[in-house]
């Protein structure tokens, strides 16, 4: 497995220095590769793991470059202020990579690392990478849970990502793959997608979403102007599942906020609505794991997308640490 799992370059974690760990680059502990990293069980342990892979984007006909996303996010996260309690751990377990284009093997490695992290009591916060990260991330979370516990998916995204994987896994197929696995294992498929753009999803995908019982809000509904409705829909979904897996596709945001993605669009949601929803999810106490996907530094502007992705991780870590 180690040929597909590399330790993070320490130089990525840098910024202002202090004598009291006032910045995250001073707080983080670098670990990996492999499955031997131990986390504390008496306090929150946040485990960062990069998915340095854009093979799924290439297979889906998108703009490659997301393989560089995890390290770009680390550069921005390390500069941010550290308000985590001293007892809380921040561990960077490095990157899972895809050097030979074997996406399926890379997903398998990531899934095992996620399962190991959750099994030890850690909270995986994954950095993507293409949105094919979701199949591996969900699979690892699901395998770490007892069958009696349900696991819901909340996806902040312009796209359903319910395309079939008949010709191999790719960045547009993760939630279809999850749905098929749920059917095979006789498990409920709980999937809420927030921010769907009608012009970005053909009729076939709306039909598939209907057939699979997907809950979703289209972009015109997903706004702070309609917060009461958004919060109610989100609360209803949270009430139906024991744990949740959250994934934030950076191409769901307007390119005014997030230009560095595979499928950029000026039409998209704002950070404000996403952060409000993430707060509601965190305080529910049901968050099992989260990732940010599709950060593509090749097309970024002033590291804006990487900064937004890092800010999302920062907010979720700090709010979760207060529980």
Residues ≥6 apart with Cβ < 8 Å to 98: 4, 52, 53, 55, 67, 105, 106
- Tokens standing for 12? 């990525």
Tell me whether residue 25 is annotated as binding. no
Tell me whether residue 44 is annotated as binding. no
CB 296 within 8 A of CB 131: no
Tell me whether residue 159 is annotated as binding. yes
CB 141 within 8 A of CB 118: yes
Tell me whether residue 71 is annotated as binding. no
CB 227 within 8 A of CB 276: yes
CA 90 and chain centroid, separation: 17
C-alpha separations of 162 from 71, 79, 132, 182, 302 in Å: 28, 36, 11, 14, 32
- Tokens standing for 66? 């997301």
CB 72 within 8 A of CB 295: yes
Tell me whether residue 228 is annotated as binding. no
Reduce the secondary structure of 68-103 to three states and give it as a string: HHHHHHHHHHHCCECCCCCCCEEEEEEEEECCCCCH
- Known binding residues: 131, 157, 159, 161, 249, 251
- Known binding residues for Mn(2+): 131, 157, 159, 161, 249, 251
């Amino acid at each position: 497995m180690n040929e597909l799992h590399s330790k993070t370059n320490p130089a990525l974690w840098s910024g202002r220095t202090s004598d009291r760990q006032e910045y995250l680059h001073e707080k983080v502990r670098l670990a990996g590769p492999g499955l031997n990293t131990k986390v504390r069980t008496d306090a929150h342990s946040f485990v960062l793991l990069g998915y340095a892979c854009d093979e799924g984007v290439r297979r889906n006909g998108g703009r490659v470059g997301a393989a560089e996303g995890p390290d770009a996010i680390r550069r921005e996260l390390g500069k941010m202020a550290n308000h985590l309690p001293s007892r809380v751990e921040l561990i960077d377990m490095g990157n899972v990579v895809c050097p030979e284009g074997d996406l399926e093997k890379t997903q398998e490695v990531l899934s095992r690392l996620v399962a190991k992290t959750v099994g030890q009591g850690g909270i995986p916060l994954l950095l993507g990478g293409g949105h094919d990260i979701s199949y591996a991330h969900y699979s690892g979370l699901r395998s770490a849970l007892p069958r009696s516990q349900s696991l819901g998916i909340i996806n902040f995204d312009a796209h359903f990502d319910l395309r079939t994987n008949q010709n191999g896994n790719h960045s547009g197929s993760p939630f279809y793959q999850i749905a098929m696995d749920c059917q095979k294992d006789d498990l409920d498929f709980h999937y809420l997608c927030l921010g769907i753009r009608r012009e970005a999803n053909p009729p076939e995908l709306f039909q598939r979403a209907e057939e699979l019982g997907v809950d979703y809000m289209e972009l015109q509904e997903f706004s702070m102007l309609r917060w009461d409705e958004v919060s109610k829909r989100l609360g209803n979904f949270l009430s139906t599942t024991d744990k949740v897996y959250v994934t934030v596709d950076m191409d769901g945001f307007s390119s005014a906020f997030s230009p560095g993605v595979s499928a950029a669009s000026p039409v998209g949601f704002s950070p404000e609505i996403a952060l409000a929803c993430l707060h509601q999810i965190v305080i529910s106490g049901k968050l099992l794991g989260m990732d940010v996907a599709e950060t593509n530094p090749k097309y970024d502007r002033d590291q804006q997308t990487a900064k937004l992705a890092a800010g999302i991780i920062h907010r979720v870590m700090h709010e979760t640490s207060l529980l």
